[in-house]
Amino acid sequence: MRPSKSPAKAIGAIIIGDEITRGKREDGHFARLLKILAARNMHLAWAMYIGDDRQRLIDTFRRTLATDDIVFSFGGIGNTPDDHTRQAVAAAAGVDLFLHPEAEHEIRSRFIEMGREMTIESLDMGRFPVGSQIVPNPFNRIAGFSLGEHYFVPGFPQMAWPMVEWVLDTKYRHLFNATPTADAAILVWRGIESMLIPVMQEVESRYPGIKAFSLPFLGSETVRSHVELGVRGEPAAVAPAMSLLREGVLALGYTFDEKPAQE
């Protein structure tokens, strides 16, 4: 399936591993993926964390493969007993695993470079679901793979992040800046979120390309309670939408300050 040019096309992330879900390792993929996408004016629609549970992975991939989403999956593509991603994707897609010839070539070349003897277990890292294509790994040549618009990369950041960038730059450059967005916000002091809902609804009604958002802060010793209230969407509509938002806040008797752009 070729990438769609629809601006509504969603991007998702699946981050896999017991070491993350059990708190033994802190995940860095989520934050880094946000930055990688933002640099191309792309945005993440959803993300999930899953432990090393093959059936749960099968169920998850069965659902996501049925969508039109672009999905990046991190981790679980090795050849140890706790790596289940390759097998789970194959089961979800209803296909077998096969030794991908390009992946095999890269693995053999890597072992020659290292002067190490090849093993059957090493070649298992190149066994992907039928229909897969490889995702090159510039770090050590042990490829990831793609199936449809799902892209499966290792859990190691120094491998995974360049591989994700390669996917975006090679396959989705036409989506860069496809849906330009801007945002702005104010801090409504002592604001009550439920009181602000009608104002938000009015803004969204008047400006269909805009999404209103709110984030309450309960207060601390140094900052009084407030609601961060703002809009996000089509750049040309942000300024007039914010003007309407400010008018509504003042009509409710609240005071506010502009949220500094650098925050």
Domain ranges of the chain: 11-175, 182-258
How far from 212 is each of 51, 202, 262, CA to CA, in Å?
A: 34, 10, 20
DSSP 2: P
Please state, in angstroms and as integers, the Cα–Cα distance from residue 235 to each residue in 35, 65, 137, 180, 185, following that order: 20, 33, 37, 7, 13
Residue among 47, 7, 44, 33 nearest 176 (CA): 7
The predicted structure's pLDDT at residue 5: 42
The H or E element containing residue 186 is strand 182-189
The gap from C-alpha 155 to its chain's centroid, in whole angstroms, comes to 14
Among all chains, which residue has been given the structure tokens 């609804």?
Answer: 201
Torsion of CA 110, 115, 116, 118, to 10 degrees: 60
* pTM for this model (two decimals): 0.85
Tell me which CATH homologous superfamily contains domain 182-258.
Ribosomal protein S10 (3.30.70.600)
CA distance 235 to 224: 30
Q: What pLDDT, on a 0 to 100 scale, did the predictor assign at position 180?
A: 82
CATH topology of domain 11-175: Molybdenum Cofactor Biosythetic Enzyme; Chain A (3.40.980)
Helix (H, G, I), strand (E, B), or coil: what is residue 13? strand
Residues of the chain where predicted confidence (pLDDT) is lower than 50: 1-6, 263
User: What radius of gyration do the chain's Cα atoms show?
Assistant: 23
The whole-number pLDDT of residue 115 equals 87
Q: Which two tokens stand for residue 149?
A: 């618009």
